[in-house]
Amino acid sequence: MREIVLDTETTGLDPLKGDRLVEIGCVEMVNRILTGNVFHIYLNPQRDMPQEAFNVHGLSAEFLSDKPLFADKADEFLAFIADDTLVIHNAAFDIGFLNAELERAGRPVIARDRVVDTLALARRKHPGGPNSLDVLMNRYGIDSSRRVKHGALLDSELLAEVYSELLGGRQAMLVGLVEEETSAPRLVAAEVAAARQRPVPLPSRLTAEDIAAHTAFVESLGEKALWASYLPKDEGASAA
């Protein structure tokens, strides 16, 4: 199961009033485990940077002036997220900006039913309290010392940790336990086993003599012995 944890930085709060994306950060998770595969890009918003926004992320208009336009990177972004689930904190904000940029670039917009909003998950799990990313990191003991300012890629990495906690803690990433309150798919044992499987099996420590001796011993127990059913047919035939 592939999921993309995503965050953005912008020039302001409203894409319908001329605010634009300036940064996109995505990290890939497979079976709720970070793979190290990321998508990260700074974007030229083709406008000034309001001081309020600069104070949040520290990205100046001068710094962004030589960065690519969203339209030039739209296909690369869409290829990375593919058709997989997007995990976003306060998803309406980021999806609003992404879809505004996609429409402007003549690309298909992102359907909201493919998005998991971690803010909504947090509000159901911790009703009545603040549930910003900073609050959730403190609540779950996640190290936020690197987060001097907002940054899309770093925030995506931190959100991935928060997401795993919202779904039952880091242990849930290994055993596939997902709380019933979420709409995310449940992991199954086969998926966990596949994630843990070595790409190249370790060489066997058993010698041919060891295998032959074991086969002979099992066959000495008689045809009805339980262990006989586990012998490969070719081994049993060769020992007969």
Structure tokens that stand for 89 in this block: 């904190």
86 contact partners, CB below 8 Å, separation of at least 6: 3, 4, 5, 6, 110, 114, 115, 116
Domain 2-196 has CATH 3.30.360.10: no
Ramachandran sector of residue 26 (left: φ over 0; alpha: ψ -120 to 50; beta: rest):
beta
pLDDT at residue 187 is higher than 60:
no
Alpha-carbon distance of 15 to 124, in angstroms, equals: 28
- What pLDDT, on a 0 to 100 scale, did the predictor assign at position 228? 72
Predicted local distance difference test score (pLDDT) of residue 197 = 56
State the average pLDDT over residues 192-219: 70
* pLDDT (average), residues 33-40: 95
Q: How far is CA 197 from CA 30, 31, 176, 189, 193, in A?
A: 13, 13, 16, 12, 6
Q: Where are the domains of the chain?
A: 2-196, 208-239
* pLDDT computed for residue 156 by the predictor: 95
The predicted-structure confidence for 162-176, as pLDDT tens digits, reads as follows: 999 999 865 444 444
Structure-model confidence comparison of residues 103 and 198, the more confident one: 103
Neighbours of 98 (CB within 10 A): 24
Q: Catalytic residue at 150? A: yes
